[in-house]
Chain A
Amino acid sequence: MENIRNFCIIAHIDHGKSTLADRLLEFTNTVSKRDSKAQVLDDMDLERERGITIKSHAIQMDYIYEGKKYILNLIDTPGHVDFSYEVSRSIAACEGALLIVDAAQGIEAQTISNLYLALGQDLEIIPVLNKIDLPGAMPEEVKDQVVDLLGCDREGIIHASGKEGIGIEDILAAIITRIPAPKGDPAAPLQALIFDSAFNSFRGIEVMFRIFNGTLKKGERVKFANTSKEYFADEIGVLRLEKEPRLQMEAGNVGYIISGIKEAKEVKVGDTITHKDRPGEAIQGFAEVKPMVFAGIYPVETSEFEELRASMEKLQLNDAALVWEPETSAALGFGFRCGFLGMLHMEIVQERLEREFNMTVITTVPSVQFRAYTTKGEMILINAPSDMPDPSSLDYIEEPFIKAQIITKSDYVGPIISLCMDKRGLIKNQIYLTSDRVELTFDLPLAEIVFDFFDKLKTISRGYASLDYELIGFQTSNVVKLDIMLNGEKVDALSAIVHREKAYDWGKRLCEKLRELLPRQMFEIAIQASIGAKIISRETVKALRKNVLAKCYGGDISRKRKLLEKQKKGKKRMRSVGNVEIPQEAFMAVLKLDQ
């Protein structure tokens, strides 16, 4: 066990974690030149297309240091704030972390938040100054920042470039000499923490774990502590570029188990795998995720509801931050109310449902979670506008507030403060990290920042601002429910909860936006916004007058059929409510009122 090192790579988004992982994998010959490609651990299509890491990815390397062979379990983590739950779970499987800081960007918001996550688990932190090859690198200045943040030795900060392969040997040496070997007793009762899982259509459910105590052998009868379900360890092994089966794995190691689990629901990250016959105690699991945004996900074809449920269960195996429960919409029928960590997370969930599970879904207007108090003193959680109690029984409403940490250049402090004020924010603190870098702290309503705040922040700061936030509690708030009617029928999936002062303006702009987004149909569509019984705005989408191709080209029937079939496909992304076909963009219209 003293030759095992478990570590993760953490950083702010784009500071070069996955690229550095590439170099470590190459240097240790874990990935052959032939299999090598940029950010090889980002193996999901979505990750490659977007150039960001979405999932933590564990991989094992061998390395000989001073004549001794070591096993290094690396976990590359995402940097985007929406995937922080991935980071926190990875940290639980490690004794150390490489904290990467971009030498040109310096410390940013998620550098700090991820560092705190790691310190919370007592990880040994190895600071790495990355991208020193960049012409704009400011090694000395950024090292000052790191020293201030960590209170570490200046000499302990490793200079590196993932791109140029600089500093890789130093990093490997530091991992071995500075990160402690895992502690644990191979002879003790088995305690293996589940930190991730995945659904594989060929092999079933794969469960990723870190063994803290005991030894797990292939074929043994195991039990999941929290669910008390028992399985056979049909296959166990380590995570190389491919999964590599092993006969036995001991305390300190990281690996996977395949055990014929049929029900996705039986696997929960944070559960403990132990033996049936000599059970160890359950390890403390993970803190529950706190979703920031809620939205409904509905199948486009109502008949696909059960299929969607099965797909969501499978997806949840691989996305522990996704929470959901069934809900019913008058307009859309049966679907799921889902909680996400942010808008990007929501988008990724929708994409993965479509790509990995072949579902066509509609996501409804996103909203934060409000709390409504009735005149009887009851508290009702409002995850969807339709949860709002009748105004006559409503006493007051509270909305969630966050503490936002914004790190920026001093030049942009003014505009950022006025943006936050405009968003009903309250400035709490302002610290100069260096003469030029400022950390601003605000209390803000979550509803104001979760949708497009970050885009605005980036625009006004020309990209020189990073944001991190955490929920701090609820405050009384004057919000109302804004309803949308199409041809006189209320479409609950288009309702939104908005601040009363902004409601009229929103209603008007929402109707205008919907007029743009709803395609013309065979009949006129009246779009109305209302608050309670009061109509506050109206727009119309005129009926289509003529849509008929003059001529079926000679005998070319195929051409016209294919043309129409393509159009029909396009309509598949639309959901019919009554007879009105509503495209997905319309449900997101609320978010685009400024554009």
Chain B
Amino acid sequence: MFQSTLNKKQFNILHLAGIYIHIPYCRKACHYCDFHFSTHFDTKERMVDALIREIILRKDFFSSPIDTIYLGGGTPSVLSSEELSLIFKSIHQHYALSTTLEITLEANPDDINDDNLSLWRSLGINRLSIGCQTFDDAILIQLNRIHRANDSITAYHMARAKGFDNISIDLMFGLPTQTEQQWIADLELAMSLQPEHISAYGLTIEERTVFGNLHKSGRLTVPGEELQARYYEQMMTMLADKGYIQYEISNFCLPGYKSKHNSSYWNQEKYLGIGPSAHSFDGSNRMWNDANNMTYIKKIESGQVPYTLETLSLKDRANEYIMTALRTKEGITLQKLTEELHYPEEKLRGILPWLVQNGWIEQSSDQISLTSSGKLLADEITLKIFLN
């Protein structure tokens, strides 16, 4: 009896609460991106009003203070100082905030300038995520990015100079025409900047994007599976050499600099998503807002939040736990899986030894986590462990 309450507590050591705010505007549409955004800014003002109304409408979402705020997009760095200030003001007004708040802003290099940096700092933003993607100008052009490699580097140094001491940069690999040398050069340059955090995503060709169309009609070639795997392996060794910890499949940090906000997605923590297409999780339900700026605004203006709700079954929760936890460094806690989520133990006994023998998974007492070769096959392994 005593034993089991103790264990329950262990599972939930940290209880984080986070707010995500989606800013659905971009100055230019990247050819690979299928996140929700618009390049027409005419609704921006109304949108900010709507975001603030949603912040108020959903003020009772949490029962504990907020630990993280994350402005993502789209491109949150396109917001004016007034707009940003209003958003922050309403959060401060309506939510209890923890004392160790992590506030992240996704910023595009071309938006990073002295004024903006000052503004962001004055609002309490203490973490920047800079969308560098690559330091190769020819590839940046192909991706339809506005900025060039030099803009990224300048922006980075400016942010540092302004006192930002927790900077993350986004990189992508497996890009069209990208050679292994180019990728290594990107990594070297990124590391030379010594950011606290690096997110590096293998390019996913999404159907409803320019790349998706070009790829389908055979007019776009990207490095094949073998190369992608090599790029990924290169990255893991190079970053580890420089002391970066791979705490999630695509995320690396110097000790002490995990993204608290993103970690809450992977640790089944509660989060509230504000804005069109934003996702929320309250511990048992997932909700996602309509991904359309006008319908979102109109619905909010009428006093309602336009979301779809899905209540997770025990099986859903087990599968989500497997899928997200397996991607993290800590991996899956078996006891949590079998006791809290009722995953059948005999099924584990049937697959784990084989996954361990083949070197895809490491097991230490009650934890299983992916090895380097396992990380390359994460989805395949997730499928093996998934419940039907």
Contact = CB atoms under 8 A, between A and B. Distances in A.
A560 B249 CA distance: 14
B382 A564 contact: yes
A551 B379 contact: no
B327 interface: yes
B360 A561 contact: no
A558 B376 CA distance: 22
B195 interface: no
Given A549-B379, A561-B323, A555 B271 contact: yes
Contacts of A549: 204, 378-379
Interface string A468-480: 0000000000000
Contacts of A560: 323
A568 interface: yes
Interface stretch (B57-65, B158-166, B273-281, B299-307): B273-281
Nearest to A569: B388
Interface in A549-570: 549-558, 560-561, 564-565, 567-569
A548 B249 contact: yes
B386 A565 contact: yes
Given A546-B229, A548-B375, A551-B204, A561 B319 contact: yes
B379 A561 contact: no
Contacts of B201: 550-551
A335 B101 CA distance: 61
Nearest to B232: A546
A513 interface: no
Contact of A572 (B204, B229, B324, B388): B388
Contacts of A565: 319, 386
Contacts of A116: none
B83 interface: no
Contact of B279 (A546, A556, A564, A567): A556
Contacts of B288: 556, 558
A550 B250 contact: yes
A556 B386 CA distance: 18
B383 A557 contact: no
A555 B228 contact: no
A359 to B, nearest CB: 14
A554 B377 contact: no
Interface residues of B, number: 46
Contacts of B378: 547-549
A554 B388 CA distance: 25
Nearest to A572: B388
Given A548-B379, A551-B204, A564 B229 contact: no
B224 to A, nearest CB: 9
A558 to B, nearest CB: 5
A568 B377 contact: no
Interface string A492-528: 0000000000000000000000000000011100000
A205 to B, nearest CB: 31
Contact of B265 (A547, A557, A561, A571): A557
Contacts of A545: 225-226, 228-229, 376
B203 interface: yes
Given A545-B225, A561-B323, A568-B383, A555 B377 contact: no
A443 B302 CA distance: 80
Interface in B294-329: 310, 316, 319-320, 323-324, 327
Interface in B318-342: 319-320, 323-324, 327
Contact of B266 (A521, A552, A558): A552
A579 interface: yes
Interface residues of A, number: 28
A522 B250 contact: no
A554 B72 contact: yes
A566 B281 CA distance: 22
A567 B72 CA distance: 29
Contacts of B232: 546
B265 A555 contact: yes
A553 B320 CA distance: 13
Given A544-B380, A546-B225, A548-B375, A558 B310 contact: yes
A557 B281 CA distance: 9
B338 to A, nearest CB: 19
Contacts of A522: 358, 360, 377, 380-381
A510 B166 CA distance: 59
Interface string A564-585: 1101110110000001000000
Contact of A523 (B35, B249, B266, B358): B358
B354 interface: yes
Contact of A547 (B250, B281, B316, B380): B380
A568 B286 contact: no
B383 to A, nearest CB: 5
Interface string B192-226: 00000000011110000000000000000000011
B377 A550 contact: no
Given A544-B377, A558-B288, A564 B265 contact: no
A558 B309 CA distance: 11
A101 to B, nearest CB: 50
B244 interface: no
B20 interface: yes
B354 A564 contact: no
A561 B377 contact: no
B69 to A, nearest CB: 14
Interface string A244-284: 00000000000000000000000000000000000000000
A569 B386 CA distance: 10
User: Which of B201, B320, B354 is the most central at the interface, judged by chain A CB atoms within 10 Å of its CB?
Assistant: B320
Interface string B366-388: 00000000011111111100101
B280 A546 contact: no
A308 to B, nearest CB: 17
A508 to B, nearest CB: 27
A550 B386 contact: no
A567 B288 CA distance: 23
A523 to B, nearest CB: 7
A558 B273 CA distance: 14
Given A523-B358, A546-B376, A572-B388, A554 B279 contact: yes
B319 A555 contact: no
Contacts of B381: 522
A243 B288 CA distance: 50
B381 to A, nearest CB: 8
Contact of B320 (A561, A567, A568): A561
A550 B379 CA distance: 10
A519 to B, nearest CB: 11
Given A522-B360, A579-B354, A546 B250 contact: no
A554 B203 contact: no
Given A555-B265, A561-B316, A547 B358 contact: no
B349 to A, nearest CB: 15
Contacts of A572: 388
Contacts of A557: 265, 279, 281, 286, 320, 323-324
Contacts of B229: 545-546
Contacts of B225: 544-546
B357 to A, nearest CB: 10
Nearest to A553: B35
B368 to A, nearest CB: 16
Given A551-B204, A557-B324, 8 more contacts: A544-B225, A545-B226, A547-B376, A547-B377, A552-B323, A557-B323, A568-B388, A569-B388
8 contacts: A522-B381, A545-B376, A546-B228, A547-B378, A553-B35, A554-B22, A557-B323, A568-B388
Q: Which 4 A-B pairs have the closest CB atoms?
A: A555-B279, A550-B201, A548-B378, A546-B229
Interface of A: 521-523, 544-558, 560-561, 564-565, 567-569, 571-572, 579
